[in-house]
Structures are given as C-alpha cells and as structure tokens.
Structure 1
Amino acid sequence: MACSEADYAYLREVVRLQSANLIDPSRNALFDTRLAPVARLAGVSNLEGLVSLLKEDRPAHLQRAVAEAMTINETSFFRDPKTFAMLSEEILPRLIEERAGAKRLRIWSAASSTGQEAYSVAMTLAEKFPGLAGWDVKVVGTDISRQVVEYAKSARYRRLEVNRGLPARMLVKYFERHEEEWEVCARVRQMCEFHVVNLCAPLPKLPVFDLVLLRNVLLYFPQQDRRTVFGQVHQQVARDGYLMLGNAEQAEDSTNLFEVEFAAQCYYYRPVVKR
C-alpha cells in the first residue's frame, strides 16, 4: 500500500526543516525509492513504518538521514562549459593577478555534491595556470550530505561518472585507473578538501574565499532561506572576490549584497562594499 498524502506531506516538511529543500508533491515517488534503505536501517519494513517512527520519537539522526537521502545531488565534471570558459578566461586570470603578492587562493564549491565541481576547478587551475605550482591554493567543497562528502573525499569515480563532461585527455592526464574506477591524481586531490556544511544553518569556521561557486542549489530553497544563504556567503567572500551562481539562478533577493557583472554569455557577482 502506498504512503498517504499526509505521510508524504510530513516527509516533505522534515526535508524542508532539515535542509531547506522544497520537494514538489509531483515528486513523491522519490521518497519511495530513496528512503527504502533508510527505513531498513531504522528497523522498519516500509515507508509508513518510517513515518510512524519519525512521528513517535522524532530522532534527530533519523530526520537528518531522511533529508540527506532526498538532497538533490545531480552533478558532473565541468558542468556548464560556458561557466568554466568564463572561469579560465575571465575570473581566474583576474584573481591570479590580484593575488600575485600573497600567492594564496581560496575557492569554495558551496554545494559540491560528490565533488566533481571542486575537482573540475582544481583541474582547471592545474591545466590553465601552471604558474600556480608554488602558490597556496585550496578548493573547499561543502555539502549537507555526509554520504556524498565521503564519496568526494574518496576521489574515485565510476566509468559513467567520468564519461559525463570529462574530456578524454583530462581523464588520461589527471586520473589513475583502478579496475572499474578512476581515481583523481594526487596533485589535484591535494588542492581539494571536503566538509559537511548546511548552508541554511550557522556556518562553521571557514576561510574568506576569493571565489564562491554556489551553483544549481538555490532553485530548491524557499525565498527566506535564499536570503539567509546570500547573507552568509556575503560574509565569507572577499570584498574584491567573486560569486558565481547557476545559469538559471539570480541574486534577486540580495541586490543589497551583490551586484551583477557580465562576461560573454554568462554573468557573475561582486560583493557590494558598504561605505
């Protein structure tokens, strides 16, 4: 027997409260597939039993497990080629010139999922800017899901994953094959680190970033949570730094914090510096 609409509504609310993600009712079937393993680990046989357990005891770890299982983790290497073209042709050259004195660069992949975006940025730095070899460079990837963060840390990807967006020459140059998996090479791995972070909760101690990539995540947040995220990101990006959103996203809720600049067919944001 399928879950009742009331049960699905309850699960949607758990996800919203835990992660700020809004699950449309038309996608209720996702709960059936994604929460089946969570139900088994919780010792119940179906989704109805999981909902009953959540309602009875409201265990925090189980609520978090539900939210993590439902978090959207769609990603690929070099997702949105125009964005990476703008990075390598416009933004990174500016940053490298401006940071030449300190020889230090900090980049935040703020919704990094299984790590492809962070590793793509690191590969771009290694490929396009060999002069950074003596710099202090770090790409920090964060995500709300512990499971995907651990996957990113492993730096190993299946054939289907490396076939999505990764040019063959980059695969050969920056990965090592281990039977049916491909592992990011040590040089690129050393540039990256990954942490569990909820963008809608108070942030842990993070560095000030020269560039923040906040792509393809705000679409799933309600307006109030978008404002919260923009406010927190504004605190973490250098005053002369850069913010990049997904191609379908805008900082319309935070025009007092970020102002738009254009390059080619993409655009990015600079923090508004209050005087």
Structure 2
Amino acid sequence: MTPTEYEFLKRFLKERSGLVLSDDKQYLVESRLVPVARKNGIDTLSALVMSLQRGGNAMLANAVVEAMTTNESFFFRDKTPFEHFTNIMMPAMLEKRASTRSMKIWCAAASTGQEPYSLGICLKEAAHKVAGWRIRIVGTDLSSEVLEKAKAGIYSQFEVQRGLPIQMLLKYFSQQGDLWQINPELRAMIEWRKLNLLENFSHLGEFDIVFCRNVLIYFDQQTKIDILQRIAKMMPEDGFLVLGAAETVVGLTDAFQPVPGQRGLYQPKQAAEAKAAPRLAMASSFSLK
C-alpha cells in the first residue's frame, strides 16, 4: 500500500465511522483489510483502494469499515461499571422511576454483546427488586457481523472465561459442544440495532442509563463533543452516563459532570450539582466473585 493509498483510507474511515488513524497504524490497516480483499475476490490492497475510490460498491465499503471498527469485548469488562450499575444506578432508578416502573438502558458500541448481556445478568440477579418492571436494553453497533454474533449469544470457552464467574456461566448459559449459548430468556431482554454514532440517533428515544465505553477514544475531539452533546439530549436530568476508564467529558462538554468518587460515571449537570451521588453511593456493595 502506498502512502497516498493509506491517506485515502484514513480519510475514508474518518468520514464513514469517525475512526482516526495515526500514521503508524498502516500495518494494522493492512492486516485487517487483506482478508476483506480476498473475500471480495480482490488481488491487492491497491485494487481495493481503487474500488473504494470509484464508489458504487456499498457492500465493500461497509466491509472495510466493519473490519477496521470491530473491537473486542468480554463479560463484566473492567468490573467497576457493573458495580456502579448494581450499587448506584439501579437503586437510583428503582427510587426515581417507582411511579412508572420502567427503565431504559442503551449500550452504544455493544460489539459482540457481552456488555448488554452482563447488564442483563445484573438485572436477573436482582430479579426480586425489578419484578413487574418494564426494562428495555438496546445494544447498538456499526458492524452487522458483530451484531449477528450478539443476537445468537453463542461464545467460545475462551470468551466465557474472560470475566464471567463460573456460577453465572452455569446459571445463564447452556453448553453446546465446545460453545456456550446465553439462555433464551436473557437473550430476549436485549434489542439489537445497527447504528453509526456519527449519524442521527435521536430516533432511539430517551434513555435513563447510557453505556458508551471504549469508543470515544477512537474519535477526534470535535466528534467526541458532538456525540456527547447528542447523548445528553436523549437523557433525563437524573440519568447516568458510563464511559470507559480512559475516557472523560472534562474539556469536552458541560452537559455532564463526574459523579464524585466514582470512576467513569457521569450525570447531567443539574443532577450532579444537586449532589445526589454521595447519597446514592451508600447502597449495598456488589461482588462478582
């Protein structure tokens, strides 16, 4: 791949997905796009770039974007966000939504589904508290391929061993040879949709809790600002936003403020200023051991 071809791919991927690639990532692009070229009967990456430049092949364009934006995930990744969900967010929603008995959760960039399913397991473990509630979990991703895997809920032994306690594996999965599948009742809790965060997502409706972890780090600053501001418009004043450990709203938007003492957890500015978080943090502890 020539420097000119790589520059084209950088622009192409930023326009289509928001992904910002540095000059030293050409090796990564090549390693991920060679299989795409082969699958589409294209001999070289130069020929692949020429096809993208000509346009008119939406399937190839989507395949290139999906190959470059597919990220790994695993159950209860980083653990802390799920402790926050069980100990802070869920108690707050149970109190504040007692009249409607409904809760809406959005997992943006849900990848192969481990994050939404982990939240579903948390809710199942608290079934006695949410009995009779209408709880909607929406998982979205840019990639059709990973969404299909998420819908099927089938994972390898390696995938279920990463972060998933053995008692939860036996409780919520059934073994199929060397693979494990999420039980139908848990799969039915999640609604999957293909979504590009660069595009309008207001049609999804309002959400009480938004998980948008480990995706903003791939965008430039203006794209981060735009996405965060649009998320804020979809949330009530007492909602919660969860970002990845390496992500922050600081310096990007004043629509959210950090929940004091809770890494990666944010609330709309009005709620944070009301200092509700310290009271919520007194909820009982949660363990995945």
Report the Cα distance in structure 2 between the residues aligned to 1:49 and 1:139, rounded to whole angstroms. Answer: 41
- Structure 1 residues 33 and 267, CA, compared in 2 at 3 Å: closer, same or farther? closer
What is the CA deviation profile of residues 178-227 of structure 1, one whole-angstrom value per residue up to 9, with x for unaligned ones? 11111111221121111111111112621211100111111000011111
Report the Cα distance in structure 1 between the residues aligned to 2:80 and 2:260, rounded to whole angstroms. Answer: 13
SS of the equivalent of 2:109 reads coil
**Deviation for aligned residue 1:74:** 1.8
Percent of aligned pairs sharing the same letter: 37
Residue 163 (structure 1) aligns with: 161
The one-letter amino acid of 2:170's match is: V
Aligned 8 A contact 1:42 1:50 in 2: no
Report the Cα distance in structure 2 between the residues aligned to 1:57 and 1:84, rounded to whole angstroms. Answer: 43
Mapped pair 1:268 → 2:241: no
Mapped pair 1:71 → 2:88: no
**Deviation for aligned residue 1:129:** 4.2
SS of the equivalent of 1:236 reads coil
Select between 119-128 and 42-51 the one with higher mean Cα deviation.
42-51
SS of the equivalent of 1:35 reads helix
SS of the equivalent of 1:134 reads coil
Report the Cα distance in structure 2 between the residues aligned to 1:255 and 1:228, rounded to whole angstroms. Answer: 9
Select between 3-12 and 213-222 the one with higher mean Cα deviation.
3-12
Mapped pair 1:13 → 2:8: no
What is the CA deviation profile of residues 75-109 of structure 1, one whole-angstrom value per residue up to 9, with x for unaligned ones? 11000112211221112111112112211111000
Counterpart selection for 1:45 from 17, 21, 43: 43
RMSD, aligned CA: 1.7
Residue 33 (structure 1) aligns with: 31
**Deviation for aligned residue 1:252:** 2.3
Equivalent residues in 2 for 1:1-275 (5 A)?
3-57=1-55, 59-203=57-201, 205-264=203-262, 266-273=263-270
TM-score, structure 2 as length reference: 0.88
Q: Kindly tell me the number of residue pairs found equivalent between the two proteins.
A: 271
Report the Cα distance in structure 2 between the residues aligned to 1:56 and 1:226, rounded to whole angstroms. Answer: 30
- Structure 1 residues 72 and 42, CA, compared in 2 at 3 Å: closer, same or farther? closer
Aligned 8 A contact 1:223 1:253 in 2: no
Report the Cα distance in structure 2 between the residues aligned to 1:151 and 1:223, rounded to whole angstroms. Answer: 31
The one-letter amino acid of 2:239's match is: G
Report the Cα distance in structure 2 between the residues aligned to 1:204 and 1:105, rounded to whole angstroms. Answer: 17
Aligned 8 A contact 1:244 1:268 in 2: yes
Aligned 8 A contact 2:157 2:179 in 1: yes
SS of the equivalent of 1:262 reads coil
TM-score, structure 1 as length reference: 0.93
The one-letter amino acid of 1:195's match is: R
Report the Cα distance in structure 1 between the residues aligned to 2:128 and 2:3, rounded to whole angstroms. Answer: 56
Q: Which blocks of at least 5 consecutive residues in structure 1 are unaligned? A: none
Aligned 8 A contact 1:209 1:241 in 2: yes
Aligned 8 A contact 1:14 1:63 in 2: no
Aligned 8 A contact 1:214 1:244 in 2: yes
